[in-house]
A and B are shown apart, each in its own frame.
Chain A
Amino acid sequence: MSQKSERRGIHVDQSELLCKKGCGYYGNPAWQGFCSKCWREEYQRARQKQIQEDWALAERLQREEEAAYASSQGAQTQPTLAPFSKFEDKKTNVTTRKVTTVKKFFSPSSRAAPKKETQEAKAPSPSISRQSSVETDKVSRDFIDFLKNLQKPGRDIHKQCRVFLDTMANKKEVSAEEQSEYVQDFYQNVAEKLQVHFKGSSDRVERVMDQVEKYIMTRLYKSVFCPETTDDEKKDLAVQKRIRALHWVTLLMLCVPVNEDIPEVSDILVKAITDIIEMDSKRVPRDKLACITKCSKHIFNAIKITKKEPASADDFLPTLIYIVLKANPPRLQSNIQYITRFCNPSRLMTGEDGYYFTNLCCAVAFIEKLDAQSLNLSPEDFERYMSGQASPRRQDQDGYLSHVNNSPSLGQAYQNLEQLSGLGERQERVLEGARRLERDLIEWSDGVAREVQDILDKYPLEICPPASAIDSDNVENDRLPPPLQPQVFAG
């Protein structure tokens, strides 16, 4: 492989090193052969195009969505008005967004601008909205497909959702608490209608409500997650800093009933950490909850393997605290607030997800308030660890050593090293063998050649000139009489 590219490198023409655009600068394979400047232009153009296409798609979907409903609604209502206004709405939305991004560039004083304007200026960058508009479209399509099965109530729900989203679009400046109230009231309204329709079958109501939540919150996410009207972001940073400062906290201090030395357990804990970090990437409250639940299930598994008995809350909570400390999940407070404000309440109050979520809230509260006592440390030790003057591991040399000896990952590393050196030896042996084989082969072929030569030398091949050549050097050939008939020779 490397040889090949080297060889190719040798043959590279000077012109191939230059920017494909022909601007005279050198290009770079990382920028697909452009120079950095041309690449940026090229990339921007492609991205702009993509964004425009996505918007077009979004608008088309919007129209289709409305049309589908209009047609299925038939003569029942006048379908033209609603779709048209929706479409207009969307368009104005687009333009305001564009305008505000420009505004953002040209008004350095946007900080001092009135509240409304800062809100708008916070409109997401094109790249985010591109991503999200694709996701939003998919969610909308799924939602409509889902509602189609519900016939008439499905149409009603769809209409209700659209109207609600329109109202919310005008409520960007209200406080997060009010936004939450609106959304919760909306959930309740829809749920009540569904209760009537399904005659109290709460399972089916829940199923529809999940879809409603997904649809609504995917669309509202950008404007209501960590809004500027709150200090969510400040709290996020505070927690993040706090967790970083607590990096020295050990399993032992928290009385965590899991044994990280068991490779299986430490693998599971890594999964738990991944899950809790993943929460931030979800948009729907329920999906965020699902991440917490997945994380919790891993924790229970780890406890189960270590303790061989079902985990109680006294096992679970310390382990969850430990996982949160190790993971330092992004925007932790924002996520908790968002779930609290916008999750379907029945799920939070009594469901399993709600239990794990509550424990996560407890874990965060514990971490915020944590002091020497909560870790069974003396206040002096706690201070020294917090200030970084001492580390619990270095201080306790024995503990440190045993930690090294016991650390499963270190053990694994040593094992891997051993295996590697073993492999190296074997490879060396294989190479040696190959070299010997090569030598043998060369020797053999040389030997054969030599033998053949010897034999040839010993028994030189004397080639008798063919009979026809007997008179070939006879210069006066032409003067001879014509040759005798061949049969005479044969005879």
Chain B
Amino acid sequence: MASGGAGGGSKSYSFKVVLLGEGCVGKTSLVLRYCENKFNDKHITTLQASFLTKKLNIGGKRVNLAIWDTAGQERFHALGPIYYRDSNGAILVYDITDEDSFQKVKNWVKELRKMLGNEICLCIVGNKIDLDKERHVAIQEAEGYAESVGAKHYHTSAKLNKGIEELFLDLCKRMIETAQADERAKGNGSNQAGTARRGVQIVDDEPQNAAAAGGGCCSSG
């Protein structure tokens, strides 16, 4: 809180969050529901659902959230790193009625951890909980897996608008924590204080771990 507190009152954060997941798990539905409170079995009216923003105010801190949809087709898989470069958070969505889609999430987690280490906040999201009777991914398995890789797990339904606000709010809190830990680290070490200049990437692992732990505390409280 040292440097974060000093500028804290008026400081605003900009976060980039990528959406990953197999086709048809409901990524687009989730963001549209969150940013425009819309759900349709066939989406309408919005021109595009690939880049959406939302402004939030969390504990007096202003947050600009930019949500990046990514092309999920297999042939675009290799482009992943270009998309998630510099992102502060990733939302990995699977469909609870589709076991394969959960497998895909596991692959993404592996890749993200390999490429970005611990500096990205991971959310694993089981969507379509309104279809619980067709569930094919066990709750314990999913939550256990998430914990084992340092991610948080969420249950959502874009259709019933369940769990979505919580998901994004929680993610934002965790990203603020991470950013503040970042500032602290920079304040201690180099003179590169402050702004987003290639920010999140230049940090070594240690303070980052501390941040992840802090994020856990914050979100549970």
Contacts and interface: CB of A to CB of B under 8 A. Distances in A.
A358 B43 contact: no
A346 interface: yes
A314 interface: yes
A374 B53 CA distance: 31
Interface string A108-127: 00000000000000000000
Interface in B25-76: 27-28, 32, 42-51, 53, 64, 66, 68-73, 75-76
Nearest to A375: B75
B82 A314 contact: no
A5 to B, nearest CB: 53
A254 to B, nearest CB: 9
B190 interface: no
Contact of B69 (A199, A312, A346): A312
Interface in B71-86: 71-73, 75-76, 78-79, 82-83, 85-86
B133 interface: no
B48 A200 contact: no
Contacts of B44: 308-310
A310 B47 CA distance: 5
Interface stretch (A156-164, A361-369, A431-439, A474-482): A361-369
- Residue picked from B64, B70, B72, most chain A C-beta under 10 Å: B70
B15 to A, nearest CB: 7
A36 interface: no
B10 interface: yes
B114 interface: no
Interface in A195-212: 195, 199-202
Interface stretch (B104-112, B151-159, B195-203, B209-217): B195-203
A351 interface: yes
A316 B50 contact: yes
B71 A350 contact: no
A195 B11 CA distance: 9
Contacts of B47: 297, 300-301, 304, 310-311
A191 interface: yes
A345 B197 contact: yes
Interface residues of B, number: 46
Contact of B76 (A191, A297, A355, A362): A362
B187 interface: no
Interface residues of A, number: 44
Contact of A362 (B48, B51, B79, B195): B79
Contacts of A315: 50
B196 A349 contact: yes
A42 interface: no
B50 A373 contact: no
Interface in B86-111: 86
Nearest to A203: B12
A191 B195 contact: yes
B4 interface: no
Contact of B7 (A184, A188, A200): A200
Interface in A275-320: 297, 300-301, 303-304, 308-318
A192 interface: yes
Contacts of A313: 50, 68-72
Contacts of B150: none
B158 to A, nearest CB: 13
A310 B197 contact: no
Contact of A350 (B16, B46, B73): B16
Given A312-B28, A314-B23, A361-B82, A373 B196 contact: no
A300 B48 contact: yes
B50 A312 contact: yes
A220 B194 CA distance: 26
B3 interface: no
B10 A199 contact: yes
Contacts of B79: 317, 362, 365-366
Interface in A244-267: 255
Contacts of A349: 14, 16, 86, 196, 199
A358 B16 CA distance: 12
B14 A316 contact: no
Which 5 A-B pairs rank lowest in CB-CB distance, beginning with the nearest?
A200-B10, A310-B46, A313-B69, A355-B51, A317-B71
Interface of A: 184, 187-188, 191-192, 195, 199-202, 255, 297, 300-301, 303-304, 308-318, 345-346, 349-352, 354-356, 358, 361-362, 365-366, 369, 373-374
Given A346-B195, A350-B14, A362-B79, 17 more contacts: A187-B197, A192-B194, A310-B28, A310-B43, A310-B46, A312-B28, A312-B48, A314-B23, A346-B14, A349-B14, A355-B51, A355-B68, A356-B51, A362-B83, A365-B82, A369-B78, A374-B75
Interface of B: 7, 10-12, 14-16, 23, 27-28, 32, 42-51, 53, 64, 66, 68-73, 75-76, 78-79, 82-83, 85-86, 192-199
7 contacts: A192-B193, A199-B10, A200-B12, A304-B47, A313-B72, A345-B197, A365-B78
